[in-house]
Amino acid sequence: MKKTAIAVILVINLFFPLNSFGAMSSTNYSIYADAIDSGGNLSTGGIYSLEDTIGESPVGFTTSTWYEIRAGYQAMERGYITMTIDNSTLNLGSLSQIAVNSASANVTVSTDSASGYILSIQSVSGTGLTAVSDGEVTVGSEEYGVSTSGSESVVSGDVGVEGGTFLAESISAIDNSVTQLTFKASINAASVVGSYNQTVTLSASANW
């Protein structure tokens, strides 16, 4: 008996908005920020460290619609964003007209950005079934989509697997934020028999 099957491969991309800043560099070294001050020190204890400056001027944030100036050595501290996927190869198995098949992966994001992050589908390549358009992948219809769950999820119901789709968002720094992606597929009597494979590239962008 001929079967219809679909597989999904997830790929990670991390994005940092480009910052403009003055820096001093040579062949082997780079100083991305310096200070004119009257003192300071680096203190350490166990797993923690504290770096301070004394008498530095001027300092503080200045913002406009498009730009932000972080004046001061400590304000120039660079941030981080990380993303991991616990299952990067998903197999929805052999599809039938009497069930909706699904497979899930957990995406974990951490960032120290005070403005949080955005998780989205950057791009999709390969072949797929008809994208779900009514908010739910249902039995007996040819439909393919993804849903999300988690405290930062922004998806309602099932949506098509398409580049530019926002999946999760935080408006503050977050540690180990988990969003579960569940890919779903179903077929009908007119569905073309064959194997379908897609590569879905996910991106996590920090809001600096």
| Each residue's pLDDT tens digit, 105-114 | 999 999 988 8
26-40, 72-86, 173-187, 191-205: which range is least confident on average? 26-40
Q: Taking the CB of residue 20, how many other CB atoms lie within 10 A of it?
A: 5
The yes-or-no verdict on residue 22 having pLDDT over 60 is no
Residue 16: its pLDDT value, please? 54
Q: How far apart are CA 126 and CA 48, in angstroms?
A: 46
Q: What SS3 class is residue 76?
A: helix
Q: What is the pLDDT of residue 18?
A: 47
On whether the CB atoms of residues 20 and 29 are closer than 8 A, the answer is no
The residues, any chain, with a CB within 8 Å of residue 102's CB and separated by 6 or more, are 92, 182, 183, 184, 185
Domains within the chain, CATH numbers bracketed: 4-17+81-206 (2.60.40)
Spatial separation of the C-alpha atoms in residues 129 and 185, rounded to whole Å: 8
Average pLDDT in the chain: 84
CB contact at 8 A, 55 and 72: no
pLDDT of residue 12: 72
Q: What is the pLDDT of residues 166-207, one digit of tens each?
A: 999 999 989 999 999 999 999 999 998 899 999 999 999 988
Please give the single-letter amino acid code of residue 70: R
In this predicted structure, the answer to whether residue 35 has a pLDDT above a threshold of 70 is no
Phi and psi angles of residue 76, each rounded to the nearest 5 degrees, phi first: -85, 0
- pLDDT for the residue 103: 96
Q: Is a pLDDT exceeding 80 seen at residue 77? A: no
Return the closest-CA partner of residue 198 out of 5, 12, 13, 8. 8
Range 13-35 average pLDDT: 61
For the question of whether the overall pTM of this predicted structure is more than 0.75, the answer is no
What was the pLDDT predicted at 159?
A: 97
* Confidence at residue 1, expressed as pLDDT on a 0 to 100 scale: 44
pLDDT for residue 183: 96
Q: Output 86 or 51, whichever has higher pLDDT.
A: 86
Lowest-confidence segment of 55-64, 129-138, 198-207 by average pLDDT: 55-64
